[in-house]
Structure 1
Amino acid sequence: MAVHYLEFERPIADLEAKIEELSKLSETASPGAFDAEIEALRARTQEMRRETYSKLDAWQKTQVARHPERPHFVDYAAGLIDEFVELKGDRTYADDQAIIGGLGRFRGRPVVVMGNEKGRDTITRVKHNFGLARPEGYRKAIRLMELAERFSLPIISFVDTPGAYPGVASEERGVAEAIARSTEKSLLLGVPIVAVITGEGASGGASAIASGSRVLILEHAIYMVISPEGANSILWRGARTPDEAAKAMKITAQDLLGLKIVDRIIPEPPGGAHSDPEATLKAVGDAVEEELMALEHLSPDELRKQRAERFYAIGRAGLQ
């Protein structure tokens, strides 16, 4: 499968092309003829990747967060959740595959798990509507949260969406009301909910399933009220560029942690989550396990109080 390189990764792509070229030449030359050169180039590539990813700006992080090869919900479910059983439908209208959820075991612990799924190729992207959930997706999420509360199960939520689907049919079926009720349900749950922003979390479409007891974010993920392109169009009438908007909006994990909008940053491998999905899944699993262990001793009332205090505190630091 062809590797998808981002624009700022061109120097890395050139080095890896040289490695591939030398590797092919070594097949026709004497054994070990180019081993030293290949090893030196590999070391240089790794160093360049570490250096590049250590100083990404907000727009570059946006591109990484949207990288098509980053782990998706289906990967997290397959890698972290044993005995996963998907539950479909909102019991009102239809099943929305932009949000997937169900029951399973996370490291021996029974849980409810849900998240956005964008799809990887044309067929799956159409099936999952590019991660753009309709009202029935959020009503399915509410149904899952109610199930979790009924059986005292913690919830793990994986967030990766450009927003809710803005089509006419979605509006006719009450997408704003569905998002509001999903957010309300998240905030009032009597069970722990750990949300992980794994890629891009945009608008109410993300916060509807991200309003958890703890909100974690991957190192190069982003969380925002609107996309940089949308902000540039609405606020500046297209007079600026998306990279200027991304910087002004403070959407990176590091900015969000400083603003206390997220609680924890999960480190990514050098080169981003897509460069080593297995290591990413382990890091996410370890972080989620630690957070669940810290929350499991709290009573339903204590969980509601903790969640209320957490969200009421957002934005108040600058007023004091």
Structure 2
Amino acid sequence: MATPERRPILLDFEKPLSELDARITQIRELAEENEVDVSTQIRQLEARAVQLRQEIFSSLTPSQRIQVARHPRRPSTLDYVQAMMDEWIELHGDRSTGVDDLALVGGIARLEGRPVVVLGHQKGRDTKDNVVRNFGMASPGGYRKAMRLMDHADRFGMPILTFIDTPGAWAGLDAERLGQGEAIAYNLREMFRLNVPIICTVIGEGGSGGALGIGVGDRLLMFEHSVYTVASPEACAAILWKDAAKAPQAAEALKITSTDLKNLGILDQILPEPVGGAHSAPLEAAASLKQALLQNLNELSTMTHQQRRNLRYQKFRNIGIFAEVPA
């Protein structure tokens, strides 16, 4: 049986594109029924659709970028693993609680023949899958599993690649009972001492300490329409203005886009996305990510262990630099 074609999931600002595509389809069908040649008009409308798509996605507001970053069909960690890696062996468990956290996946892979350890948040594709994956919000066991695999990578000299895509760490009562804050803080401290190269990439939504728990690295990469924030705009708006409806205003103030973070010196490299977002052409997005990872790995591999640790330390020290201006 043929697999039914999935209907596109349209974001609010994509509606003009949808209307134009529907018009093109309607004209083409009417022309075929009446045996009329409208190829010239169709080409003009298709060119207009391409231009409109480029115009829309080149001028997204921060709140619109959040919609793209949260798109249900945006490529996930396991999608990129499948598209980029020659081999993949997923590893499970934190060797502590006896439970495997499915919101944070990890394992050993080969990238162009080079052994690497890959870690990343994993969201679901639908509601049922998202419930299983806890919507990409990792538990303390997930962060301890990540640290266990990073120690393994350091012991055997394998570079670490982390893919960040979470609204934040799980904030349930059980998470607090099992030491969520301690697990994340432990990872932050320990990642600074690792000798191997660490490259972190924000592939979707990078939220709060949940993102930072696997976000300490030598290089921070970020897809063009991804976001990286200390708190979600909805939470920020609720805290500051007691009104979650002011989330777009909060998104603007938080400086969460790749361009903002590059200008602030937090981000090392912006990865361009296909027109329409990574979900519109996932293999193209994966090829762009793979090229960037290989380039950065080659550069970091020329450094000594001490040089990489110093680079990592200074990178995060510089984020906290401030200047006092006389009144």
Same fold (TM over 0.5): yes
Displacement of 1:117 in angstroms is 0.6
Note if 1:199 corresponds to 2:233: no
Picking from 34, 39, 42, the partner of 1:35 is: 39
Provide the C-alpha distance between the structure 2 equivalents of 1:239 and 1:200, rounded to a whole number of angstroms. Answer: 18
Provide the C-alpha distance between the structure 2 equivalents of 1:192 and 1:239, rounded to a whole number of angstroms. Answer: 40
Match of 2:77 in 1: 73
Any residues of structure 2 matched to 1:115-130 within 5 Å, and which?
115-130=120-135
Q: 1:13 to 1:150 in 2, by over 3 A?
A: same
Picking from 298, 302, 322, the partner of 1:297 is: 302
Displacement of 1:141 in angstroms is 0.3
Provide the C-alpha distance between the structure 1 equivalents of 2:109 and 2:255, rounded to a whole number of angstroms. Answer: 35
Alpha carbons 1:99, 1:116 under 8 Å: kept: yes
Match of 1:132 in 2: 137
Picking from 289, 306, 311, the partner of 1:284 is: 289
Picking from 12, 25, 29, the partner of 2:30 is: 25
Q: Could you give the per-residue CA deviations for residues 131-175 of structure 1, whole angstroms, max 9, x where no partner exists?
A: 010110000100110000000000111100000111111111111
Picking from 47, 54, 67, the partner of 2:58 is: 54
Q: What amino acid maps onto 1:194 in structure 2?
A: I
Aligned residue pair count: 319
Match of 1:179 in 2: 184
Note if 1:108 corresponds to 2:108: no
Instruction: Say which SS state the counterpart of residue 159 (structure 1) adopts.
Output: strand
Alpha carbons 1:98, 1:131 under 8 Å: kept: yes
Picking from 156, 160, 172, the partner of 2:161 is: 156
Displacement of 1:26 in angstroms is 4.7
Provide the C-alpha distance between the structure 1 equivalents of 2:118 and 2:301, rounded to a whole number of angstroms. Answer: 16
Alpha carbons 2:72, 2:126 under 8 Å: kept: no
Instruction: Say which SS state the counterpart of residue 319 (structure 2) adopts.
Output: coil
Q: Could you give the per-residue CA deviations for residues 224-252 of structure 1, whole angstroms, max 9, x where no partner exists?
A: 00000000001222186111000000001
Match of 1:86 in 2: 90
Any residues of structure 2 matched to 1:142-153 within 5 Å, and which?
142-153=147-158
Displacement of 1:122 in angstroms is 2.3
Match of 2:259 in 1: 254
Q: Could you give the per-residue CA deviations for residues 250-276 of structure 1, whole angstroms, max 9, x where no partner exists?
A: 001000011111111111111111121
- Aligned-residue CA RMSD in angstroms? 1.5
Alpha carbons 1:84, 1:105 under 8 Å: kept: yes
Match of 2:268 in 1: 263
Q: What amino acid maps onto 2:81 in structure 1?
A: A
- Which runs of no fewer than 5 residues in structure 1 stay unpaired? none
- Using the size of structure 2 for normalisation, the TM-score is 0.94
Instruction: Say which SS state the counterpart of residue 291 (structure 1) adopts.
Output: helix
Q: 1:35 to 1:319 in 2, by over 3 A?
A: farther
Picking from 228, 232, 239, the partner of 1:234 is: 239
Note if 1:209 corresponds to 2:193: no
Match of 1:167 in 2: 172
Q: What amino acid maps onto 2:229 in structure 1?
A: M
Provide the C-alpha distance between the structure 2 equivalents of 1:181 and 1:20, rounded to a whole number of angstroms. Answer: 55
Q: What amino acid maps onto 2:275 in structure 1?
A: P
Provide the C-alpha distance between the structure 1 equivalents of 2:114 and 2:244, rounded to a whole number of angstroms. Answer: 51
- Which runs of no fewer than 5 residues in structure 2 stay unpaired? 1-5
Provide the C-alpha distance between the structure 2 equivalents of 1:105 and 1:267, rounded to a whole number of angstroms. Answer: 24
Alpha carbons 2:234, 2:245 under 8 Å: kept: no
Displacement of 1:33 in angstroms is 2.9
- Using the size of structure 1 for normalisation, the TM-score is 0.96
Note if 1:44 corresponds to 2:53: no
Provide the C-alpha distance between the structure 2 equivalents of 1:230 and 1:145, rounded to a whole number of angstroms. Answer: 31
Q: Could you give the per-residue CA deviations for residues 58-91 of structure 1, whole angstroms, max 9, x where no partner exists?
A: 1111111111111111110100112100000101
Larger displacement relative to structure 2 (237-246 or 107-116): 237-246
Provide the C-alpha distance between the structure 2 equivalents of 1:161 and 1:178, rounded to a whole number of angstroms. Answer: 16
Provide the C-alpha distance between the structure 2 equivalents of 1:184 and 1:163, rounded to a whole number of angstroms. Answer: 19
Match of 1:274 in 2: 279
Alpha carbons 1:145, 1:185 under 8 Å: kept: no
Q: What amino acid maps onto 2:267 in structure 1?
A: V
Match of 2:226 in 1: 221
Q: Could you give the per-residue CA deviations for residues 182-220 of structure 1, whole angstroms, max 9, x where no partner exists?
A: 222222211101000011100000011111110000111
